[in-house]
Structure 1
Amino acid sequence: MRHDESRALYDRALSVLAGGVNSSVRATQPYPFFVERGDGAHVIDADGNRYIDYVMGYGPLLYGHDAPEPVQAAVQKHAAAGPMYGAPTEIEVEHAEFVARHVPSVEMLRFVNSGTEATVSAVRLARATTGRDKIVVMQGGYHGAQESTLVEGGPEGASPSTPGIPSSFAEHTIPVPFNDAEAVREVFEAHGQDIAAVLAEPILANMGIVHPVDGYLQTLRDVTEEYGSLLIFDEVITGFRVGGLQCAQGKFGVTPDLTTFGKIIGGGFPVGAIGGKAELVEQFTPGGNVFQSGTFSGHPVTMAAGHEYLKYAAENDVYDHVNRLGEKLRSGISDILEDQAPEYTVVGTDSMFKTIFTRHGPADRDDLCESGCEQRESCARFDYCPKTGADVSKAETDRWERVFWQEMKDRGVFLTANQFESQFVSYAHTDEDIEETLEAYKEAL
């Protein structure tokens, strides 16, 4: 493949954009390819190279790059009527009503502009309604670019994970290992009266995809109820992708007090939302005293796209299709690993997938979770499958990024640029795309 145009564009971008990109995960080595357009399940770069796309905008594109006709029509209608007004519109109400009907935890919503803004607002709401300051988060969990959760360390003491955040912010955040029920209980025994909320992704989705062990999410529910804290599920990635319209909380049967959304809920446009019990969400201004506001919140074009996105999924076989292809892809990769890299681990569920380059594991892959690690204790690989963010970090992350990603790109398959970010199957993908991808895996591994 030739990349002359992408290289030239990157050279220009370095002069006017920080690092040449507007999001750090886009900065692939030696330089990113620049996308010219999307086409169904594919993207075409500035040099005319065509790739099967499993990045899918890092999650929002449930339908790939060609949204169904009702979605396109709704976007065009609302854009033509006037992009925004600084006043409420009916489509905001319709979209909120749809979400509240389908997601177990949601009685009331506040739409915002990004997943980061949603988690920032949810943490503020939890602190205000409980009168407490401390937030428990999962090591390896990601909740956007916000000061309360950009931390590192353990329960004994956290520190900011990036320059620019005062250490005083991290003093109120308690990181614990994902899937470690004992660590959570110990933290609550020590600090329970000061903990406003546990903020957790139901599946670690920005850390290689780590499935919860059986009963772990229920432990979070039980301990927060015992101590009068809130349970917040960050479903920015898993929302309306895992568990269908009920989201991951419906799939796992655990209902949080608050849920944060992003990505799919906006139909491919910038969006975020906080949903939950009405007695909590109504505490946002102007109904309550917890300040929350935004110029572009509830943007009518975004609301129309998101509403038609979810309606189409409710009325068609969208989840059957994407979940079947996701299972086919994960099972196919697992078969390839049995012959070529038995120590590696296939992870994911529904339409999410990833291969973790774990360093250890039994050569015998009998009775393994064939279509993605489910943390089954009876599985021969149970002790070797990643259960925390730290486990994923110990994998061959450099080899994934510097060798495997490049090899897959050269074979026309666009994956997320590092070992940690989730990958996604869309409604536009076909069985032929999956088969072509598996052939590329065979060669690249």
Structure 2
Amino acid sequence: MNHDESRDLYDRALSVMPGGVNSSVRAIRPYPFFVQKGDGGHVIDADGNRYIDFVMGYGPLLLGHDLPETVRAAVQQRASEGPMYGAPTEVEVELAEFVTRHVPGVEMVRFVNSGTEATVSAVRLARGYTGRDKIVIMEGSYHGAQESTLVEGEREHTAPSSPGIPESFAEHTLTVPFNDKTAVHEVFEEHGDDIAAVLTEPILGNHGIVHPIEGYHETLRDLTDQYGALLIFDEVITGFRVGGLQCAQGKFGVDPDLTTFGKIVGGGFPVGAIGGKSEIVEHFTPAGDVFQSGTFSGHPVTMAAGLETLRYVAENDVYDHVNALGERLRSGIADILEDQAPAYTVVGTDSMFKVIFTRDGEFGKGHCEGGCTQDPTCPRYEFCPKNGADVDRAETERWERLFWPAMKEEGVFLTPNQFESQFVSAAHTDEDVEQALEAYKRVL
């Protein structure tokens, strides 16, 4: 493939943007390809190269790049009526009604502008509601670019993971490994009266794709109830992608106190949301005293895009289609790994998928064919990643430096490192899946 135009664009970008990008994950070595446009389940770069797109904007594009006419018309209408108003609109009420009608743990919603803003606000709300300062997160987790969760270390021995964050922020953040029931019990036994909330993704989606072991979320639910803390599910990635319209909390049958959303709930436009039980969410100003506000919150174009996207999904067989393609991809990749790289692990569920370059393990009779579900009867159970540290021990450099570039040259656009999820959209086809599997077969 020729990448001359992308290289020239990156050269220009380096002069006017730090690192040449506006989000650090896009800084692919030696330089990123610059996208000119999307086309269904594909993107076309500045040099005219065409790729099957499994990044899908890091998750928001459940319907792909070609929006259905109802979504496009709603966006165009709202944009033509004026950019924004600084006043409420009916469409934000309608989207809130849709979310509260379908998501089990959500009775009331506050819309914001990003997943980061949603998790920042949820943590502030939990602290304000409980009168406590400490929060528990999973080691290696990512909940946006906020000071309270950009930490590293174990238990109470944490420190900021980035310069510019005062040490005092990390003092209030406790970490435990995902899927470690013993560790979270111990943290609550030692700090339970000071813990405002446990913040976790239902499925780790920013650090590999790691499924919860049986009973893990129920343990979190029981402990937070016992100690008067809140359980917050970060569903920025899984919301309206895993578990259908009920989201991952519906799939796992656990109702959190608060849920954060982003990505799909805005139909591909900048968005975030905090949902939860009314008695808690009403502590946001102006109903309560926990400050939260934003000029662009509930932006009419975003609200219209999100509402019409979710309506389209509800009225069509979108989840059947994308989940079936996701299953075919995971099962097909598993077959390839069994022959060519039996130490590697297929992960994901519904329309999420990934290969983790784990270093140990073999395929055996009865393995999880459609992605690791942490099934204790699976012969790979002891080798499948259980937490972020397990993913870190995988061959992350091989994935990023050798595998990703080779897949790109095969015309398959994947998230550019071992950690972020990959996604199937409604615009993908059986032919896309077959082409992608052939590429995996050649590259692995």
TM-score class normalised by the smaller sequence: over 0.9
Query: Partner letter of residue 108 of structure 1?
Result: M
Native 8 Å contact 2:400 2:418 kept in 1: yes
1:436 matched to which residue of 2? Answer: 435
* 1:306 equivalent in alignment to 2:306: yes
SS at match of 1:206: coil
1:413 matched to which residue of 2? Answer: 412
SS at match of 2:346: strand
1:146 matched to which residue of 2? Answer: 146
The offset of 1:156, in angstroms, is 3.7
- Name the CA distance, whole Å, in 1 between partners of 2:31 and 2:11: 9
- Name the CA distance, whole Å, in 2 between partners of 1:83 and 1:212: 42
2:105 matched to which residue of 1? Answer: 105
- Name the CA distance, whole Å, in 2 between partners of 1:349 and 1:266: 22
- Name the CA distance, whole Å, in 2 between partners of 1:402 and 1:24: 17
- Name the CA distance, whole Å, in 2 between partners of 1:186 and 1:395: 28
The offset of 1:347, in angstroms, is 0.1
Query: Partner letter of residue 135 of structure 1?
Result: I
* Matched ranges for 1:30-429 at <5 A: 30-362=30-362, 364-429=363-428
Measured against aligned partners, the alpha-carbon deviations of 1:46-98 in whole angstroms (never above 9, x if no partner) come to: 00000000000000000110111110000001000111000000001000000
SS at match of 1:205: coil
- Name the CA distance, whole Å, in 2 between partners of 1:382 and 1:262: 32
The offset of 1:366, in angstroms, is 1.7
SS at match of 2:261: strand
Native 8 Å contact 2:258 2:275 kept in 1: yes
Query: Partner letter of residue 235 of structure 1?
Result: E
Native 8 Å contact 1:140 1:204 kept in 2: no
Native 8 Å contact 1:102 1:246 kept in 2: yes
SS at match of 1:247: helix
Native 8 Å contact 2:115 2:272 kept in 1: yes
- Name the CA distance, whole Å, in 2 between partners of 1:365 and 1:93: 51
Runs of 5+ unmatched residues, structure 2: none
Native 8 Å contact 1:108 1:275 kept in 2: yes
The offset of 1:140, in angstroms, is 2.0
Calculate the aligned-residue CA RMSD, in Å: 0.5
- Name the CA distance, whole Å, in 2 between partners of 1:41 and 1:257: 35
Query: Partner letter of residue 299 of structure 1?
Result: H
- Name the CA distance, whole Å, in 2 between partners of 1:369 and 1:151: 33
Identical residues among aligned pairs (%): 77
Native 8 Å contact 2:156 2:173 kept in 1: no
Native 8 Å contact 1:104 1:250 kept in 2: yes
- Name the CA distance, whole Å, in 2 between partners of 1:368 and 1:425: 23
Query: Partner letter of residue 414 of structure 2?
Result: L
Measured against aligned partners, the alpha-carbon deviations of 1:213-270 in whole angstroms (never above 9, x if no partner) come to: 0110110000000000000000000000000000000000000000000000000000
- Name the CA distance, whole Å, in 1 between partners of 2:390 and 2:160: 21
Runs of 5+ unmatched residues, structure 1: none
Native 8 Å contact 1:89 1:300 kept in 2: yes
Query: Partner letter of residue 24 of structure 1?
Result: S
Native 8 Å contact 2:100 2:106 kept in 1: yes
Query: Partner letter of residue 413 of structure 1?
Result: V
- Name the CA distance, whole Å, in 2 between partners of 1:150 and 1:365: 39
SS at match of 1:320: helix
2:22 matched to which residue of 1? Answer: 22
- Name the CA distance, whole Å, in 1 between partners of 2:326 and 2:140: 24
SS at match of 2:427: coil
Native 8 Å contact 1:342 1:365 kept in 2: no
| Alignment: residue pair count | 444
Measured against aligned partners, the alpha-carbon deviations of 1:324-374 in whole angstroms (never above 9, x if no partner) come to: 000000000000000000000000000000000000013x42211000000
Q: Which runs of 4+ in 1 moved over 2 A?
A: none
- Name the CA distance, whole Å, in 1 between partners of 2:68 and 2:402: 36
